[in-house]
Amino acid sequence: MRVRPLFLALTFLCLPTLLVACADVPKSPEAQAEALEINDPLEPMNRAIFNVNDFLDRLLIKPATEVYRFIVPTFLRERVANVLSNLGEPVTFANNMLQGKAGSAGVTAQRFAVNTVVGVGGLFEVADGWDLAKQHGDFGQTLSAWGLGSGPYLVLPLFGPSNFRDAAGLGVDMIMSPWQYFAEAHGKTVRDTYLITSFVAEGLTRREAVLDEYDALRSGALDFYATMRSIVRQYRDKQLGISAPDTSRGFDFAE
């Protein structure tokens, strides 16, 4: 049976959507104002998923990452990170275009061409030296550009902190990536091997990049869940160009 990224994205979204209707509504104005600012009506469920993710990180992901860092030299780890970054450029390009950012899309296309050809399939980051800075673009960002609010805070299994809008965007980005379809053209086994390999490589690369910082944050936080919620939101707001607190967390499109 074939499991598609869209099915996973819908799975992430449907359960919280059903549960949010059952969430307790604060009765006092002060509690309502605080709940609106935090925008985490599914906090009990989110904390449970966060704790499972953290347990899996301590048990499996962190030790695997430490082995990866120990065995694989820095030079090779950088090559892996570069290839993964280059493979993500077509999705960035598509989202740049969907957001109407023709200039960013042009830079992304040039980066992909330069790093693929001159950088030997993306092994070497050449485009930065050609004044072609890496652009950012995902479908969650695209939905934000189209006026869709973030919706409630949401912690996804394995993928971690997110929100309803970005969870949907994650599923679309998975489908949008062309490489799985190229792999599928060579058979189901090749496709499945590619999906598993890319998922593991992406996870190890991302975890290795913040290995020390994440552990320091975990050990120093009084409430690790709340700290991560705040940091992730601030980082995401910076990506979206939001300098003030995001007050449009709903799903209504802006006029």
Q: Where are the domains of the chain?
A: 72-137
Alpha helices in the chain (DSSP H): 5-20, 29-38, 43-56, 62-71, 74-87, 89-98, 102-117, 139-145, 164-176, 179-184, 188-209, 211-220, 224-239
Q: Could you tell me which of 4, 3, 8, 2 has the C-alpha nearest to residue 156?
A: 8
Q: What is the DSSP letter of 86?
A: H
Whole-number Å distance between alpha carbons of 98 and 101: 8
Q: Report the interhelical angle of 89-98 vs 102-117 (nearest 10°).
A: 170
Contact status, residue 154 vs residue 164, Cβ threshold 8 Å:
yes
Q: Measure the CA–CA gap between 34 and 226, rounded to whole angstroms.
A: 14
Can you give the pLDDT of all 255 residues of the chain as single tens digits? 444 544 444 454 444 444 444 445 556 555 556 566 789 999 999 999 999 999 999 999 999 999 999 999 999 999 999 999 999 999 999 999 999 999 999 999 999 999 999 999 999 999 999 999 999 999 999 999 999 999 999 999 999 999 999 999 999 999 999 999 999 999 999 999 999 999 999 999 999 999 999 999 999 999 999 999 999 999 999 988 875 555 444 443 333
| Burial profile 67-95: b = 16 or more Cβ within 10 angstroms, e = fewer | ebeeeeeeeebebbbbbbbbbbbbbbbbb
Distance CA 2, CA 188 (A): 9
Asked if 218 and 122 touch (Cβ cutoff 8 Å), the reply is no
pTM reported for the whole predicted model: 0.81
Helix (H) or strand (E) holding 154: strand 153-156
